[in-house]
Structure 1
Amino acid sequence: MKVEQLFDVKDNVVAITGAASGIGLAIAEVLAANQARLVLFDIDKASLAAASDRLTQTGVEVFARAADVRDRRALRQAFDEAVAHYGVLDTVFANAGIGAGPGFVGLEGARYPGGALEAITDNHWDDVIAVNLSGVFATIQAAVRHMKSRRMGRIIVTTSIASSRNQAWIGTPYMPAKAGAAHLVRQAALELAEFNITVNAIAPGAFATNIGGGRLKSAEVAATMSRNIPQRRVADPQDVQGLALLLASRASNFITGAEIPIDGGASLGRGS
């Protein structure tokens, strides 16, 4: 099979949560470049409108709705409207996520009291779990209602390398939320395999996005982080595009329940 057939997503209907910026927008861009039909969800109405307008100008069809993954009823309704618009749903990227603030150790190695366990408020813990774990569940649940009857579909979740390793400089609620999302991927993959629905995860390392207040966009912070990454750089959102296209296409037909790191080798440890 030729590469253009293997990675063909033309006319596929692909929904992306957290689509207005960062990794979600980069995923939307590569799918648009390969002529998929897009469904964009994001809580940021202004950024969503801007992203939708820009992608529409490239000639692809875009259906955009403001949606908060914490509101399950509204999210289900948004999915229903998208399917009513296109008539089908092929692929979903459960990408929406938020940071958890700084951890109990700063990037320079000193203890940070604000990130200590006793400093974590109930609201902070609940918000991170609600978006990064419960929001993933809500997205998967909304999608499979439309996929199971067709006995086909692809679900891709944005987890993190923090799902499998401790990171002292990241707020503690982030780790269990992402670990739970990774295990949810495996459980959902097991259940849905019979219906020819694959469920996989992209596990980013340090990416320069808006998450965490966008601190990795700072050259100083990025330089500090890069010292712990074997490839010696922080990722640009476009670095995710090849893996996203793989998992959205028939090239990944027999891959399910996988969590694939995209971290410049950071999860391997320091090379020097």
Structure 2
Amino acid sequence: MERFTGQVVLVTGAGSGIGRELARSCAAEGAQLHLVDIDETVHEVAAGLGGVAHICDVGDPAAVRSLFERVESLDAAFLNAGINGVPSMLQDGGAVDELSFDAWRRVLSVNLDGLFSCLQESAHIMKRQQHGSIVVTASTAGLRPEPRVSYPYVVSKHAVVGLVKQAALELAGHGVRVNAIAPGPVVTNIGGTGPRPQAAVAAWEDSIPARRWGQPSDVTDLALLLAAPGSGWLTGGIHVVDGGASVLTQVLAGTLPGNSPRE
């Protein structure tokens, strides 16, 4: 089934991880692709899929405006770009009174400000067309506190959830749908490209009823469903895909900073 035949689709963060898998899946379903990333690897991805590559730091509003000036029409936008790379409260330098403001602002500049810029430009095109679908990559860390994830990541993803719901209200009357996927722990480069500490990997797995990390392909089928023309009555939703992790609502007090397990 080629749900996106003849449709123009934009993917941010398309150089790796979920974005790259989204690009591959959309290409397989006939989409004409605009692939966006700050990393040069997006050229390789676009060349392999017959798409157009754009180097863009979404945290720079002027760069985002310049990017969208080259996009004449747009049927679906997967606003997926995001970063972290900041220690959590369980790691050195990640406590609320230790975290640098520069680290805080850099994560928010991409995950929130950059998302807003891309959503704003996508909406401008789609309102003019009176149709379109925007799918945002949020996170389960935007639905509850998560001590294993950094402050700016958690805060930015909580704000993303609110932005998606608010935009869905406005844009529905223009024939434009806005939804979010909220992945749990997925194997991507967002925390860096090096090997992860085995203890941290095991701790995450212990919090997932499915007992494994997600792969990008576990997420993309849902994202494509939300963007596809056949999902015309779906808007304003935050759709969780996390192997059941968000069903586990309790964090053991003994694992938090300043506490220790009971003897």
TM-score computed with the length of structure 2 as normaliser: 0.90
Identity between Structure 1 and Structure 2 (%):
40
For residues 88 and 198 of structure 2, the distance between their equivalents in structure 1, rounded to whole angstroms, comes to 20
For 1:241, the equivalent position in structure 2 comes to 220
- Partner-residue secondary structure (3-state), 1:82: coil
- Partner-residue secondary structure (3-state), 2:30: coil
For 1:209, the equivalent position in structure 2 comes to 188
Amino acid at match of 2:142: S
For 1:72, the equivalent position in structure 2 comes to 61
Contact 1:222 1:233 in 2 (8 A): no
Amino acid at match of 2:89: F
Alignment of 1:113-192 (within 5 A): 113-192=92-171
Contact 2:85 2:192 in 1 (8 A): no
For 2:261, the equivalent position in structure 1 comes to none
Contact 1:67 1:75 in 2 (8 A): yes
Q: Quick check: 1:269 aligned with 2:248?
A: yes
For 1:16, the equivalent position in structure 2 comes to 11
- Partner-residue secondary structure (3-state), 1:211: coil
Question: 1:100 offset after TM fit, Å?
Answer: 4.5
For residues 219 and 115 of structure 2, the distance between their equivalents in structure 1, rounded to whole angstroms, comes to 19
Per-residue CA shift, 1:97-121, capped at 9, x if unaligned? 001523112xxxxxx3421111111
Q: Which protein is richer in helix relative to its size?
A: 1
Structure 1: give runs of 5+ residues left out of the alignment. 57-61, 106-111
Question: 1:251 offset after TM fit, Å?
Answer: 2.5
Question: 1:155 offset after TM fit, Å?
Answer: 0.5
For 2:48, the equivalent position in structure 1 comes to 54
The structure 2 residue matched to 1:31, chosen from 23, 26, 30, is 26
TM-score computed with the length of structure 1 as normaliser: 0.87
The structure 1 residue matched to 2:35, chosen from 19, 32, 40, is 40
Question: 1:147 offset after TM fit, Å?
Answer: 0.9
Amino acid at match of 1:17: T
Question: 1:217 offset after TM fit, Å?
Answer: 6.0
- Partner-residue secondary structure (3-state), 1:155: strand
The structure 2 residue matched to 1:82, chosen from 48, 68, 71, is 71
- Partner-residue secondary structure (3-state), 2:208: coil
For 2:86, the equivalent position in structure 1 comes to 101
Amino acid at match of 1:255: L
Per-residue CA shift, 1:63-111, capped at 9, x if unaligned? 111011111122112112122xxxx211111110001523112xxxxxx
Amino acid at match of 1:229: I
Contact 2:131 2:174 in 1 (8 A): yes
Question: 1:218 offset after TM fit, Å?
Answer: 6.3
Contact 2:83 2:110 in 1 (8 A): yes
Cα RMSD (Å): 1.7
Q: Tell me the number of residue pairs that the alignment of Structure 1 and Structure 2 aligns.
A: 250
Question: 1:270 offset after TM fit, Å?
Answer: 7.3
